[in-house]
Chains A and B, each alone.
Chain A
């Protein structure tokens, strides 16, 4: 039976594919070295020198008590995140009830699933669209290091080749309790943030 493609007269899908393929090859060539983690907050010297004002404290309290998550759900870990939003492990008690699809309204990206080179430019673009301050939690073995699929030809060995990661949660998939512990570690980090340098 004939398969007609009425979309042909508007755009040429092969051109779009070639353009996107070039973007992927470019990103792959530039991402060989992982981005260093933003973990200066753990440094002993800086810790002793931080003096938080009341304004800082209130701002940090507001930011850590209701992080809104941006959608980034490639694979299996997504289901443990959805279970964490479910009735038993309720993360809306931590203020994370809202799962907005729009990255402009989000300040936390929980990357739940394997990242492939084909998807990597999209994740980079979504990360760039989030407004400062923003944080990233790498959830699961595939997000930390590529996991069980590390030797695949299409798999990025860890999200930190593309975006800077704040908290790493191991597990395949991590239990919702692990995820909640990771979120609480991130809340400790946000509590020590100096807003007006």
Chain B
């Protein structure tokens, strides 16, 4: 059975490494500061105690004040999983660092989020529209589209 790791314990361990990264943590997920996202995920990937080598999904939700990005990581060796969330504010040009260097699986999913939600990912090698054509105006998945 894949154990969903207790976010509070993981957050406590992460606090020792990167003290300013974690904003808060409840039972289900850890909310991190978006600037420290690649460092935190790299730490979780390389530490043998956690060994998160598989990215389940990346998704974005539009709460009208902010966008929330949700990442789920799983370790196949230890069979445990963790959910990480981060927020980005602003409707004009929100942006978040990209984790394409760590996980190739992030490449198409980040392009999709840019196309449909309008969130830019810094460091992505090929950030352009994927599902809709160049010249399409607007980002359809946002709550204020149509």
A→B interface (CB under 8 Å)? 1, 3, 5, 14, 17-18, 20-22, 24-25, 117-118, 153-154
User: Does B136 sit at the interface, judged by CB under 8 A?
Assistant: yes
Across the interface, A153 reaches (CB within 8 A) one of B129, B134, B146, namely B146
Chain A positions within 8 Å of B146 at CB level? 153
Q: In the bound complex, do residue B135 and residue A21 qualify as a contact, i.e. CB atoms below 8 Å apart?
A: yes
B residues neighboring A (CB under 8 Å):
100-101, 104, 107, 125-126, 128-129, 131-136, 140, 145-146
Instruction: Add 10 more A-B contacts to A5-B125, A153-B146, A154-B132 (CB < 8 A).
Output: A1-B104, A3-B125, A14-B134, A17-B128, A21-B134, A21-B135, A25-B133, A118-B132, A153-B145, A154-B131
Q: Smallest CB–CB gap between B125 and chain A, Å?
A: 5
Q: Is the CB of A24 within 8 A of B133?
A: yes
Q: Is the CB of B101 within 8 A of A1?
A: yes
| Residues in A neighbouring B140, C-beta threshold 8 A | 153
List 25 contacting pairs A-B, 8 Å CB cutoff, sorted by A: A1-B104, A3-B107, A3-B125, A3-B126, A14-B128, A14-B134, A17-B129, A17-B133, A17-B134, A18-B135, A20-B133, A20-B134, A21-B133, A21-B134, A21-B135, A24-B133, A24-B135, A25-B133, A25-B135, A117-B133, A118-B132, A118-B133, A153-B140, A153-B145, A154-B131
A21 touches B128 (CB 8 A): no
What is the predominant secondary structure among interface residues of chain B facing chain A? loop
**How many Å lie between the Cα of A51 and that of B118 in the bound state?**
62
Q: Which residues of A contact B101 (CB under 8 A)?
A: 1
Complex CA–CA separation, A3 to B132 (angstroms): 23
A17 to B134, CA, bound (A): 6
Residues on A with beta carbons closer than 8 Å to the beta carbon of B128: 14, 17
Q: Specify which chain A residues have a CB less than 8 angstroms from the CB of B133 in the assembled complex.
A: 17, 20-21, 24-25, 117-118
What's the least CB distance linking B135 to chain A, in Å? Answer: 4
Which 7 pairs between the two chains have the least Cβ-Cβ distance?
A21-B135, A21-B134, A21-B133, A17-B134, A24-B133, A18-B134, A153-B140
Instruction: Kindly list chain B residues whose C-beta atoms are within 8 Å of the C-beta of A153.
Output: 140, 145-146
Residues of chain B lying within 8 A (CB to CB) of residue A24: 133, 135
Distance to closest chain A CB from B108 (angstroms): 12
A153 to B133, CA, bound (A): 12
A154 partner residues in chain B, CB cutoff 8 A: 131-132
Say yes or no: A22 contacts B104, CB within 8 Å: no
By beta carbon, the residue of chain B nearest A121 is B133
Closest partner residue, chain A, to B133 (CB atom): A21
In the complex, what distance in Å separates the CA atom of A3 from the CA atom of B102?
12
Task: Name the distance in Å between B112's Cβ and chain A's nearest Cβ.
Answer: 14
